[in-house]
Amino acid sequence: MCGRFFRHDVSWEDYRSALEIIVPEGVDPPEAKYNIAPMTWNPVIRRDIDTKKLELFPCLWGLVPSWWNKPLSEKKFSTFNARAESVHEAASFRGAFRHKRCLIPVSGFYEWMRNGNDKMPFAIGLRNRRWFCFAGLWDCTHIDGSEINTFTILTTTPNDVMAGIHTRMPVIIHPKDYMRWIDGDYRKLDDLFEPYPAAEMHAWPVDRKVGNVRNQGMDLIEEV
């Protein structure tokens, strides 16, 4: 699973160098955040349905499928992650998988390793890369007259770095596959679900205070 991640400052120039996204005039890029949790608003990179251009767009983490029209308080199923193996068939995700794929810009994520009754938090990132992208899905629904845009993060089996920490890891998309993930034939994307190469990743233990979502700041990713 992936239930917490962080993102350094990323400039518009950095985003443009990787993707030809629309840069809103007079708007600053998203600020750095170091303890991002489900049910918070975060930027995703998606293709606008009307203009067909790439944009950085705020969505709520925890996908609400387009067919859902009840109050969010009545939604009892978890959708902040989607298993890559079943995303093709799952009722909550299959429509978005076909038509509304997105990228979630991040600098790393957290996972907890269980040791008996204890759990130790780890930060995980890519070597020599300040930011990268998870594979995501987004969707839009209307509840009580309001439009709500939401997203989920795809997960897959762990690589050698993650195997000793957790049984799942996020699907990480290589930059060369960014546009393929967003625009490609959904029937020909399964190879992107392979665990990201372990040699390009590293993990390090961090302070337990990351477990409290109220704690923020770059000190959360310092090795302990």
CA atoms within 13 A on the CB side of 149: 18
204-219 mean pLDDT:
96
For residue range 9-32, list pLDDT tens digits in order.
999 999 988 998 888 788 899 999
pTM: 0.95
Q: What is the pLDDT of residue 24?
A: 78
Catalytic residue among 20, 85, 102, 111: 111
Question: Which CATH number goes with the domain that contains 33?
Answer: 3.90.1680.10
Q: What is the pLDDT of residue 76?
A: 80
The residue with greater pLDDT, 40 or 51, is 40
**Active site (annotated) includes residue 222:** no
Q: What is the pLDDT of residue 224?
A: 94
Range of the domain at 192: 5-221
For residue range 116-160, list pLDDT tens digits in order.
888 999 999 999 889 999 999 999 998 888 899 999 999 999 999
**Active site (annotated) includes residue 133:** no
User: With helix as H, strand as E and coil as C, how does the chain read?
Assistant: CCCCEEECCCCHHHHHHHCCEECCCCCCCCCCEEEECCCCEEEEEEECCCCCCEEEEEEEECCCCCCCCCCHHHCCCCCCEEECCCCCCCCCCHHHHHHCEEEEEECEEEEEEEECCEEEEEEEEECCCCCEEEEEEEEEEEECCEEEEEEEEEEECCCHHHHCCCCCEECEECHHHHHHHHHCCHHHCHHHHCCCCHHHEEEEEECHHHHCCCCCCHHHHCEC
50 — pLDDT class (breaks 50, 70, 90): confident
1 — pLDDT class (breaks 50, 70, 90): confident
Q: How many domains does the chain have?
A: 1
Q: What is the pLDDT of residue 32?
A: 96
Residue 215's alpha-carbon distances to 52, 122, 211, 218, in angstroms, are 38, 16, 8, 10
